[in-house]
Structure 1
């Protein structure tokens, strides 16, 4: 019996259940990749928080920074702080924990994913507003004051947040969903939940505004180059006119000097006139000599 029990014990097999990559951290999957990923996200977070904080500080302290566009800058900086100050650090935590982050509560992952998508869309549309604002100022200067005022700028700022929330709402009503992304190891909106929703977000709320940004920037560059070329043309014509004026002034100066010399010569001759006959002889000589 003891021999049989020993044999059975030796023949016992242990089944190893593979652990899903979602349950493993990025460091367990690829340590070097995890280090690089965390370093990059950390650098982006620090840079983003510092940069956006500097924008808010400058807008508050430097009174010479005026204009309606400053409100758009403040709105963009606030939205981007949510991304760089909250969403990015959660990406770092996700790289260390993997799917185990869900043990803290699914509400945490859903909250981070919702905040990330909403803030990212808000930042993106703020960039669109700032670009269009500069485009109208540079290319349609006369129409700028008719379009932009304090009320319209506030409406645009609020609209950026409403668009961000509007893009996120379908994830709560069954059209889309939230998930822990296996590739990026972060909580985000589920791109595979519904293809139509994914197409709407990527095409309607990312691609189309991106095309608008590119169009506005290209138009501004063209406008700047046209103005620069006109300035160079004006400078060339101005230089020619200055040179022509200088030549005229030089010739006029020479002419006046010659006239002055002729007058002095005439006065000298008048001083030797002693009688009426001398006057007649003088004018006859002047007429024939041309001096």
Structure 2
């Protein structure tokens, strides 16, 4: 009779073995979960209540916020549960662990695909303006969103059919795909990470080359002292590029750890840092990037909060595209 390896004799329970460190981790995750959930709800709410923000470009921003809500709430909640309850609790509930892993992997890949879609959208808007409205119709945009979600599930299909598998990761302290079960599965996951990153890099390089070569023709102000449409688009592209840089800084360490730690020798603290505190919570900074760099979003946040609190006794004028840096496309 063969000895199985899926249920180890000694189960990981860091709350028992490392109570101080695990308690600090749980406290940090609770804070990050609150920020990520509230911040991304603010983004969606701002777009919903602000007419000037209801644009094609921001449809992708909303989709990114939805992905990030899944990561910041659902996935984080089970990371916290994993730290509290330990490995055995999840191994005894394999179906639940699979569901958590499914949402984690899907939201992660869809988030990456959406960041790439945003970059391509900005490239077409700035560098191929004549065909922008032909490509980004309401129907085409909806199809793009659906395709991204279908694409994000492709690795899950492999995991459910034996190509890879989901498990409780002893070092990440939560349910996720088994990075050691099938290295080919890991390679495909990394392709799903670095391919969108490559698309984003190329798109923004082309955008900034275009901006540099046409800087004499494009100025922040026209003869009447108002921003030109192109200047607004370029400013928005810079904001979204800043978002990508933050996104890359929060996710790149995870990809590098997957590549380097082939023998699973990295300590738990490394995997906890790059997965729970960075990879799964990079979304929490998005609302700050938008708010500090785009007046339309900061105004939209205020409008949304007033509506939620129900204290808007007088009508507040939602910021439109003529009063801020919001894109009109």
Range into which the TM-score falls when normalised by the shorter chain: 0.5 to 0.7
Aligned residue number for residue 148 of structure 1: 136
Distance in 2, Cα, partners of 1:44 & 1:222 = 37
Deviation at 1:226, TM superposition (A): 3.3
Distance in 1, Cα, partners of 2:88 & 2:144 = 40
Q: Tell me, what secondary structure is at the counterpart of 2:175?
A: strand
Deviation at 1:32, TM superposition (A): 4.3
Q: Does structure 2 retain, via aligned residues, the 8 Å contact 1:22–1:99?
A: no
Match of 1:210 among 181, 190, 197: 197
Match of 2:27 among 39, 44, 60: 39
Question: What does 1:25-36 align with in structure 2 at a 5 Å threshold?
Answer: 25-36=13-24
1:116 partnered with 2:104: yes
Distance in 2, Cα, partners of 1:32 & 1:219 = 49
Distance in 2, Cα, partners of 1:140 & 1:66 = 21
Distance in 1, Cα, partners of 2:23 & 2:9 = 17
Distance in 1, Cα, partners of 2:217 & 2:20 = 55
Task: Render the CA deviation track for 1:199-241: whole Å, top value 9, x for unaligned.
Answer: 11112x1111111112222222333333335558xx9xxxxxx
Q: Tell me, what secondary structure is at the counterpart of 1:228?
A: coil
Match of 1:85 among 73, 76, 79: 73
| Structure 1, unaligned runs of 5 or more | 1-19, 236-291
Distance in 2, Cα, partners of 1:57 & 1:132 = 24
1:222 partnered with 2:222: no
Aligned residues between the structures: 214
When residues 227 and 31 of structure 1 are mapped into structure 2, their CA distance, relative to the original with a 3 A threshold, is farther
Aligned residue number for residue 315 of structure 2: none
Aligned residue number for residue 180 of structure 1: 168
Deviation at 1:68, TM superposition (A): 1.4
1:170 partnered with 2:158: yes
Distance in 1, Cα, partners of 2:95 & 2:194 = 30
When residues 223 and 185 of structure 1 are mapped into structure 2, their CA distance, relative to the original with a 3 A threshold, is same
Q: Tell me, what secondary structure is at the counterpart of 1:191?
A: coil
TM-score (norm 2): 0.60
Deviation at 1:107, TM superposition (A): 1.2
Name whichever structure is richer in helix by fraction.
1
Q: Does structure 1 retain, via aligned residues, the 8 Å contact 2:56–2:141?
A: yes
CA root-mean-square deviation: 2.4
Q: Which has the higher contact order (CA 8 A, sep 6+)?
A: 2
Q: Tell me, what secondary structure is at the counterpart of 1:188?
A: strand
Aligned residue number for residue 38 of structure 2: 50
Distance in 2, Cα, partners of 1:127 & 1:21 = 42
Deviation at 1:37, TM superposition (A): 2.6
Distance in 2, Cα, partners of 1:36 & 1:66 = 40
Question: What does 1:52-71 align with in structure 2 at a 5 Å threshold?
Answer: 52-71=40-59
TM-score (norm 1): 0.67
When residues 101 and 228 of structure 1 are mapped into structure 2, their CA distance, relative to the original with a 3 A threshold, is farther
Distance in 2, Cα, partners of 1:38 & 1:132 = 37
When residues 22 and 215 of structure 1 are mapped into structure 2, their CA distance, relative to the original with a 3 A threshold, is farther
Distance in 1, Cα, partners of 2:199 & 2:74 = 29
Aligned residue number for residue 102 of structure 1: 90
Deviation at 1:154, TM superposition (A): 0.6
Distance in 2, Cα, partners of 1:22 & 1:216 = 49
Which has the higher Rg, Structure 1 or Structure 2?
1
Deviation at 1:103, TM superposition (A): 6.0
